[in-house]
Homo-oligomer: A and B are copies of this chain.
Amino acid sequence: MDTIPKKTFFNLDSEKQQRITDAALNEFALRSYEEANISNIIKDAKIPRGSFYQYFENKLDLYKYVFDYIKEKKMNFLGNDLKNIDDLPFLEIFRLLYHQGVKFSYTYPLFVQIGKHMFNLKKDMYDELVGNGLKLAKEYYVGYLEADKLKGRIREDVDSSIFADIVIELTTNIALEGFLESDIDLDKMVSKADSLINIFKKGIEKGDLNV
């Protein structure tokens, strides 16, 4: 409850709030946190300099707000799909999440750009904002993988921690990469995900009996 934005921001009529939010999203999509500059944002949002500092302490304050804004959008987007999961195998959960993740990126291309810049935050800030989320995701994945092992779905010699890392890496990065190309094809990305999952299932090697 530190400073993230001052209450004055939320007192604004929603049109103005949105104008400012959009301007900030645009700026942080175009430039990294360090490069982003407030002058562009206030020009875009058509508010005077002084007003900006009435709504936000400084650039960090604004960035945290934007980060939370995106996080909430994503939660809403993924939330619904995570409800009716009975006892799917890990890779089917992954498929669901991946598909929804792709759709999310497709729906909010700006957020993809902002996400890309996030990798360049200074370590402290990255850890504060992103680190915990990734840690939770990994714990969730590892737990799920271990459970699947007990159910005899996954080979015992598969290292859950490493596989979880791979999965996280690919969901956070490859999905982003796909959206940097000029021709974004949703179906193609989804089918790519399916090929990927198939590789994870069976491996690439031919003619072996898995033990």
Residue of B whose beta carbon sits closest to that of A209: B209
* Contact of A200 with B199 at beta-carbon distance under 8 Å, contacts A170-B166, A170-B169, A173-B169 already known: yes
Determine whether the beta carbon of B166 is less than 8 Å from that of A177: no
Q: Which residues of B contact A174 (CB under 8 A)?
A: 165-166, 169
> From residue A92, how far is it (CB to closest CB) to chain B in Å?
12
Instruction: Report the stretch among A1-9, A51-59, A151-159 that lies at the interface.
Output: A151-159
Partner of A206, one of B165, B192, B210: B210
Distance (whole angstroms) from the CB of A134 to the closest CB of chain B: 10
Q: Are B35 and A196 in contact (CB under 8 A)?
A: no
A83 proximal to B (CB < 8 A) = no
Q: Specify which of A153, A165, A204 lies most central, judged by the most chain B CB atoms within 10 Å of its CB.
A: A204
For A123, list chain B residues within 8 Å (CB): 180
Please give, as numbers and ranges, the residues of chain B lying within 8 Å of A158 by CB-CB distance: 195, 198-199, 204
In the complex, the count of this chain's copies comes to 2
Stretch at the interface among A12-20, A41-49, A113-121: A113-121
A208 partner residues in chain B, CB cutoff 8 A: 202, 210
A205 and B151 alpha carbons, distance in the complex (Å): 12
> In the complex, A200 Cα to B205 Cα: how many Å?
8
Q: A170-B169, A174-B165, A196-B166 are contacts. A155–B202 as well, Cβ < 8 Å?
A: yes
Q: Which residues of A contact B (CB under 8 A)?
A: 31-32, 34-35, 91, 116-117, 119-120, 123, 152-155, 157-159, 162-163, 165-166, 169-170, 173-174, 177, 180, 192, 195-196, 198-210
Q: A155-B206, A159-B192, A210-B210 are in contact. List 5 more A-B contacts (CB 8 A).
A: A32-B120, A152-B206, A166-B196, A199-B203, A207-B210
Can you list 10 contacts pairing A with B, beta carbon distance less than 8 Å? Answer: A32-B32, A32-B35, A153-B206, A159-B192, A162-B195, A166-B170, A169-B177, A201-B203, A209-B210, A210-B210
